[in-house]
Amino acid sequence: MLPGAVAVIRLDRPPLNILDRDMQARLHRAADEAAERDDVRAVVLHGGPRAFSAGADIREMAGMSHLAMSRHAPLLQAAFNAVATIPKPVIAAVNGPALGGGCELALTADHRICGRGARLGLPEVLLGVMPGAGGTQRLPRLVGPALAKDLMMTGRVVSAAEARSIGLVDEVVADAQVLDRAVARATALAKGPAVALAAIKQAVDQGGTTDLGSGLTLETRLFSALFATDDRTAGMRGFLENGPGRAEFTGR
């Protein structure tokens, strides 16, 4: 936990933060804790200065049967979904490789900041399989279906510059500045109206998977509900008395 209500979920399995089953379970628990804690207003995902995550434990997976993976795959997706549905802003701070499951984990974030030396990709096809932790669903929604298919069907890895150009990441900074930049962005967001931020995230994420009419109905419901919050009162009063951008929010 950092000052300013920002929590860091740190992947810590050197040297490459391979996401074995134990790491997946710990990630799920950390995401649940971040979602539940009232003192956490924003989250940063970080793998350290050398590697975000090089993906799943291939040695572990190689020994799994069809039946074993059929039982485990829902747990894998549940861990990543737990991160994606944290009802707070989530920033991925990416250094080094973010490959396979590592890239899929970065895709669960609301914003991705990477270093110039970062490399991203979904090379599962080179192992005779496909992304199984959300990549086939989240990547097309981010970069479009044709480009997503190209990346997943070829398994090619892209540089930070290319990732930025196709919309896979949002910012590219010097490698040494990645975590600081992510924390700064998370800290700024943590000062915002927490209920409204959660509602925006829900409206975009859930609305983007349904038809326009259903999405607009969801937006109307969430928008109206915000008029029951203290932050709406503070925000509108602050605007009328002092101008825009000066309200102080309590998160209620």
CB contact at 8 A, 109 and 91: yes
Distance CA 105, CA 112 (A): 11
Query: Angle at CA 120, nearest 5°, toward 11 and 1?
Result: 25
Query: Angle at CA 108, nearest 5°, toward 117 and 103?
Result: 35
**117: burial class by Cβ within 10 Å (0-12, 13-18, 19+)?**
middle
Q: What positions carry a catalytic annotation?
A: 104, 124
Distance CA 182, CA 44 (A): 7
Per-residue burial over 144-169, b = 16 or more CB atoms within 10 Å of its CB, e = otherwise: eeeebeebbeeeebbbbeebbeeebb
Look-up of token digits 């997976």: 61
Distance CA 190, CA 194 (A): 7
Distance CA 205, CA 180 (A): 27
